[in-house]
Copies of this chain bind each other. A is one copy, B any other.
Amino acid sequence: MVQPIVDVSPPKWHLGHTTWFFETFILSVYDNNYTVFNKDYNYVFNSYYETVGARVVRTDRGNLSRPTVAEVLAYRQYVDAAMESFLSKQETLDKALQGLLYLGFNHEQQHQELLITDIKYIFGNNPLLPAYDSSYKPYADEKNEEQDWITLAEGVYEIGANAEQLDFCFDNELNRHKVYLNSFSIAAREVTNAEYLAFINAGGYEDFRFWHSDGWEWVNTHQVKSPMYWHYIDNAWQHYTPKGLLPLALNEPVCHISYYEAYAYAAWAGKRLPTEAEWEVASNKFTWGRRWEWTESAYLPYPGFAKAAGAIGEYNGKFMINQMVLRGASQATSAGHSRNTYRNFFQPQLRWQFTGIRLAESI
């Protein structure tokens, strides 16, 4: 039930919140026979939907010793059963309801991913550094091959999702639209731990020239010296994994870095990060999905972006400020949840997600 930083939610809360989503946006609206499990749960499991009610005592998610895990699981069973019963009675699903169902599924998949990243954070910041998956295996120790570069010519390209060809996409991926790109190259694979270590050993964290002004302040304020979960112990780099501390896997893609670090690494390497449009139009030419990849694009609305009406409209649009776009997917992303039009986004200092680097350059 712990919440070590504001970005990390307690596992128990994820369970309750995804359940609450179905109860609040589907059952309470569409099923006349539905009785709310516990009306106070709205205070506890509403994440940020201002539309759906105020809270009298400020809710710190990390301090909720009640409801217990058993109560949350009972809540989940109750709502699952109600959903099954409700759905079994529908002959057809109207468009709006179908949209909410898909949103609920995708919302749940997003929280499944957060469950994994949050548990890693909770254990990786516990002084006992407990292991939680003895079957964990690093990526096969691939040879650290030379980087290949993929080149695209200048011109008009199309990006964004085509809603008509998909069962579901988020509103922030719409609509498919034209962009003009200058010619560029993009790397065929992500930057590895070994490559990132060269940046560290070259003094990259101590040289302001590679950093944004805000990034330099962040590095110095927090005394950042390496990616999150790296520990330098007895003259060797180790990193915290689901199996506990292990020697740093040199040929894995570097992970758990902030946008500031991704930018600084690229500057040091004489390259840059790709824009999200560059990434998307080139994405069918390289392998992706092992790590979320920071882009040089701020998270902003696409041309013609429109929020949905009501609480559901709070899903994406209101976060379109002070965040950078990540593309790809990670080992923690649910199968079937990723697309090359998918726009993930985080603030530039955050590191607890599986975030890495793919380089690009203008040519």
Contacts and interface: CB of A to CB of B under 8 A. Distances in A.
Contact of A127 (B55, B177, B259, B298): B55
A178 interface: yes
Nearest to A11: B65
Copies in the complex: 4
Nearest to A303: B182
B127 A59 contact: yes
Interface string A173-192: 00001111110100000000
A297 B321 CA distance: 10
Nearest to A178: B180
A177 B300 CA distance: 20
A57 B122 CA distance: 12
Interface residues on A, range: 35 or more
B318 A213 contact: yes
Contacts of A98: none
A211 interface: yes
Interface string A1-27: 111100000000000000000000000
A349 to B, nearest CB: 10
B304 A362 contact: yes
Interface of A: 1-4, 40, 43-44, 48, 50-51, 55-60, 62-67, 122-123, 125-130, 156, 177-182, 184, 208-209, 211-216, 259-260, 263, 272, 296-298, 300-301, 303-304, 313, 318-322, 324, 348, 362
